[in-house]
Amino acid sequence: MLQIVMPDMDYNELLYTDEELLHEIAEGSQEAFKLFYRRYWEEMFVTATNALRNKEDAADVVQDIFLSIWNRRNELDIRESVAAYLHTSVRYRCIHYIEKNITRHDYLVHLADVAVSFSHPNAEINLQLKELEQTIRNSIARMPPKMQKAYKLSRQEHLSYKEISNSMSISVETVKKHIQHALYFIRKDLPPYTLVLIIVIILFFS
């Protein structure tokens, strides 16, 4: 199994073009793969993090892409620039990740909440984002007081369940239930175009 261990900095690596590294990778060179990994990992990780807003999920996506490149090294045929190919790979892999994990921890609610912070030159997308933001606000406003407070402390003040528990003088389990119910409260109000809108943002604006 391929073990990715970042090598010490070697300025000679700057002499290798992407094409030369890919040729060596196709020949089975793990050293070339490590250099390629180091060259592009951070850039891909930033793109994935911007799309998913979760560093652990982003790292998983980028790792999967590099493992796929290694596993397909003998058949890989990149006809565009390598950077463009990898950027596109990250965006489409992020979309697949969202679709696969859409119900995990109410992933759609989390991304919808993030999406409303975007601003784009496209007037129609901006209008949909404003509508989405208002939908979320209306959902929060209709929550029972304790549920609403727990949700705001979690999402807006970024407090842990334990900190919320102490602040509200309730058990951690009760906090978890408030948050779970709040997420369901929002999810059922989200318009049907929410996932499509998020995908558009990732594809064209990340």
The CATH number linked to 182 is: 1.10.10.10
Whichever domain contains 53, its CATH number is 1.10.1740.10
Residues 161 and 85 in one domain: no
Q: What is the mean pLDDT of residues 39-67?
A: 91
| pLDDT number for residue 22 | 92
Contact 179, 154 (CB under 8 A): yes
Which residues 6+ apart lie within 8 Å of 36 measured at CB? 18, 21, 22, 25, 69
* Containing structural domain, residue 91: 11-101
Q: What is the mean pLDDT of the chain?
A: 83
Q: How many domains does the chain have?
A: 2
In a domain, 5, yes or no: no
* pLDDT classification of 65: cutoffs 50, 70, 90: very high
| pLDDT number for residue 206 | 53
Residues 167 and 181 in one domain: yes
Distance of alpha carbon 22 from its chain centroid, rounded? 27
Residues 87 and 146 in one domain: no
Which of 74, 101, 128 lies at the terminal end of a domain, its last residue? 101
Q: What is the mean pLDDT of residues 36-57?
A: 89
Residues 142 and 201 in one domain: yes
Q: Which two tokens stand for residue 76?
A: 């890989």
Residues 135 and 188 in one domain: yes
Cα–Cα distance for residue pair 14/7, rounded to 1 Å: 14
Residues 197 and 132 in one domain: yes
pTM: 0.62
In a domain, 6, yes or no: no
Q: How many CB atoms lie within 10 A of CB 117?
A: 9
More confident: 132 or 19: 19
| pLDDT number for residue 83 | 92
Residues 129 and 198 in one domain: yes
Closest CA to 146 of 119, 178, 123: 178
